[in-house]
Amino acid sequence: MIQTVLSTLIEVVVPLSVPIIAGALIERFQRLDTKPLLTLYLYFLSPAIILDTLAHAKISFGDIYLTAAFTLLNLLFLWGTASGISRIMKFSAPDQAGLTLVSVLTNSANYGIPLVLLAFGQAGLDKASVYIIGQMLIINTLGVYFAARSHFSVKNAVKSVLSLPAIYAAVLALLLRGFNWHLPAELDKGISMAAGAYSPVVLAILGAQMMKVVRMPSLTGERSVFWTGMAVRMLLAPLLALGVLTLLGITGTLRFVLLILASMPVAVNSVILAERFSASPTFVSRCILWTTLGSFLVLPVLIALVSGE
């Protein structure tokens, strides 16, 4: 078991850490401006990898159905857990909103995609594509609702989703698959080349964002919400995901991939929502940092466990 964990750590986490460390060092010494890179990620690299993956993915409609069912059930369980704990602990409204963001929104895109690709290969990434698109939808709809229920607008949420190029890339990929169409070979090669640039760029952005969090002022006030958020995301989330997977009877590679993606650290996008709607952004930012660092140890153990099943 220890040998398997160490092997996973070396083969998966070490390669991932290279662009993350590079991004952190550039931010530390050069003050990396991530806004242009985020624009590149959102409007070019993200739709490119979604289109490239979905258009060529070897995934059945049964897998799509099971992934959608898992995504919804897991979301409901995590939401209920965060709400229940908040009431028991008597957290303030901003802390409750922050805890919900930390519990529900995972970094399945910019961290999960390269991790799954390294750990499970292209077959794993094929299985992961539907879940990742689902998370994009959740962040831009329910994520807004979780952050500020009083500010939530269905119209604005729909508008936010429709502004995501990745959604149109997914629709195009589904049309291509449904009608058995194919992009011209030269265009397809260009999209695949852009998709290949996705992982190093987004991981470097993640490293820079983590370094920015390190420079933030120390967490003030009640620390119980921070440790609660860490416990839910790092401990309860994998257990709840495992329970839902067992309930739905999901097995094989799809089971392994969904368990890993559901155990990802807190989504970087959650701090954007927290800052916009005053949902304890300092608490959310620190959970992003420490769950990401913790994932370097937790995820290799999970991957080793599922690989041994």
Structure tokens at 118: 């390294």
Beta bridge partners of 106: 266
What is the rounded CA–CA span in Å between residue 158 and residue 144? Answer: 11
What is the rounded CA–CA span in Å between residue 133 and residue 272? Answer: 19
**How do the domains of the chain map onto residue ranges?**
2-33+67-128+138-159+204-307
pTM across the whole model = 0.84
| Domain covering 2-33+67-128+138-159+204-307 in this structure, CATH number | 1.20.1530.20
First-to-last C-alpha distance (Å) of the chain: 12
pLDDT at res. 220: 56
Distance of CA 209 to the CA centre of its chain: 15
Of 139-153, 155-169, 242-256, highest mean pLDDT: 242-256
Tens of pLDDT, residue by residue over 58-105, are 888 899 899 999 999 999 999 999 999 999 999 988 899 999 999 999
List of residues 6+ apart from 241 with CB closer than 8 A: 70, 74, 258, 259, 262, 263
Tens of pLDDT, residue by residue over 250-301, are 999 999 999 999 999 998 778 777 877 788 888 888 898 899 899 988 898 8
What is the rounded CA–CA span in Å between residue 283 and residue 288? Answer: 9
CA proximity to 82, closest of 230, 259, 282: 230
What integer is the mean pLDDT of 5-10?
A: 76
Tell which wins on pLDDT, 230 or 309: 230
For tokens 């989703």, name the residue: 161
pLDDT at res. 58: 82
For tokens 């996008």, name the residue: 269
